[in-house]
Structure 1
Amino acid sequence: MSLSAGASLRFELSLVQPVLRAAAARMWRSDAGLPGRYRHYLRAMHQVIRASVPLMERAAARCEALPRDPVAPPLARYLRAHAEQERGHDDWLLTDAAATGAAPGELAGAAPPAHVAALVGAQYYWIEHSHPVVLLGYIAVLEGNAPAPGLAGRLASETGLPQAAFETLRLHADLDDGHSADLDRLIDRLPLDPAQRSLVAVSALHTIAALAELFDRIATAPHVSESAHD
């Protein structure tokens, strides 16, 4: 029996997710540079997450311009609803960064580097020039790789940073499993044709590779001294 669209995507991702997990393990390794890497992580993830709602809103608008496409109406409804669920999550990261001692505006004012633009920007291109269903691959990766439940506590203990600096990790460890299950059900319900299924998979695989590169860049970033955040 052939796999459903959602199960097929999960199987394909399972083949490459060890690459992402290994990059995350390098980023979260226990050493003297961990506090600086965590601050770098907050900055990078703010640059990624602040694009989530605009991406979903743009993809929903593109769906609404495709009235004869059977995928478009249910996809637009999902994206509009999910955008509301995700709204404000970038502000959580700003609050976490402030708890680490980051100066006001340090995160929001930073220009995203090219590798972050490559991670997020590919979605804009595909939404505009292919089909908005592509965004489901991106969402599947981001929500299918939620932080481990104990990660926030370990990082707080090992970095010496305040517990308040890890609220986003804690919240996403709780929320993303449910969101991932909702997405699986949606992908199985949508009448995706083979080209659309392939597009979702290509987006997901690109997201895995780009996110692993982001984590590796954080893992190898120069040490950030504590005095820089005093």
Structure 2
Amino acid sequence: MSGGSASGRLRAKLSLVEAGPHGATAALWQADRARDRYLAYLVTMHQVIRASVPLMERAADLADRAARCGADPLAAPLARYLRAHVLEETGHDAWLLEDLAAAGVDTKAVLRAVPPPDVAALTGAQHYWTEHHHPLALIGYIAVLEGHAPAARLGAVLARRTCLPEAAFRTVRAHAHLDADHVDDVYALLDSLPLTGRDEALLAVSALHTVDALTRIFVRLGRRAPAAVPLRETGRPTPTGGPG
């Protein structure tokens, strides 16, 4: 294994692929129909984030089980971290629904919608690795999601372009501030664990898959005309024109 810290090695690997998600998100927010794209973004982020707490809870359960057996030195600290992170992330899917409701969206229709394959690919891979290999895989996923928080000024920019109410930007604004601390926590965890080369390979596979899947999601949101999101007041699709 090369020198340095586990966090440094993972950061170095991720730095090689950062152009993908950064370019895709930049293209998304530079595209036309900003209001429709922002609403589609909120729907997609809800589909992703509502999987996060159940994933962490399952990974923590598996780590706890391994810790009781006493043979896995990663298990106990991993379970502690995941339990703490569950407390930090609980309710964020509800925030997104509240943002959508503030924008006039029918949130019941959002919950009924079938999530697209790229969302399933992003979160479903973590279910597989957690259940069938090791819950450590989820840390690679968390590191990437926490490391790709919205830019601090994104909420203000989108509020101007979309003419949506301030209450529709709660989650974007909150995560711009919260995730900086969270990403530091996850890398501190990695440096505290007795990781082997095989462990670091698992983290890298999970993290790089997460980057690729996120990039695909943002490319879809930026390139394709966003699907109509039904409004709560009228039950009709949002208009394709309007601000942005």
Q: Using structure 1 for the length normalisation, give the TM-score.
A: 0.96
* Residue in 2 that maps onto 1:21: 22
For structure 1, the 5+ residue unaligned runs are none
Residues 80-119 of structure 1 mapped to structure 2, 5 A cutoff: 80-119=83-122
Give 1:26 deviation, angstroms: 1.1
- Identity, % of aligned pairs? 51
On the 8 A contact 1:50/1:90 being kept in 2, the answer is yes
Does residue 5 of structure 1 match 2:14? no
On the 8 A contact 1:37/1:221 being kept in 2, the answer is no
Q: Deviations over 1:132-170 (max 9, x none)?
A: 000010000000111110000000001111111111000
* Residue in 2 that maps onto 1:215: 218
Aligned-partner residue type, residue 141 of structure 2:
Y
For 1:72 and 1:199, the matched residues in 2 are separated by 15
Q: Let me know the Cα RMSD of the aligned residues.
A: 1.5
* Residue in 2 that maps onto 1:186: 189
Measured at CA, do residues 219 and 137 of structure 1 come closer, stay the same or move farther in structure 2, by a change above 3 Å?
Answer: same
Measured at CA, do residues 64 and 217 of structure 1 come closer, stay the same or move farther in structure 2, by a change above 3 Å?
Answer: same
On the 8 A contact 2:74/2:194 being kept in 1, the answer is yes
Q: Deviations over 1:100-136 (max 9, x none)?
A: 1101312222111111100000000000111100001
Aligned-partner residue type, residue 158 of structure 2:
L
For 1:8 and 1:79, the matched residues in 2 are separated by 22
Q: Deviations over 1:164-203 (max 9, x none)?
A: 1111000000000000001111000011111111100110
Q: Deviations over 1:33-92 (max 9, x none)?
A: 111111110111000000110000000111112122000000000001101110000000
On the 8 A contact 1:101/1:229 being kept in 2, the answer is no
Aligned-partner residue type, residue 181 of structure 2:
G
Give 1:30 deviation, angstroms: 4.8
Aligned-partner residue type, residue 44 of structure 2:
A
Give 1:223 deviation, angstroms: 4.6
Q: Using structure 2 for the length normalisation, give the TM-score.
A: 0.90
Give 1:224 deviation, angstroms: 5.3
Give 1:229 deviation, angstroms: 3.3
On the 8 A contact 1:24/1:215 being kept in 2, the answer is yes
Higher mean Cα deviation, 108-117 or 13-22? 108-117
Aligned-partner residue type, residue 228 of structure 1:
P
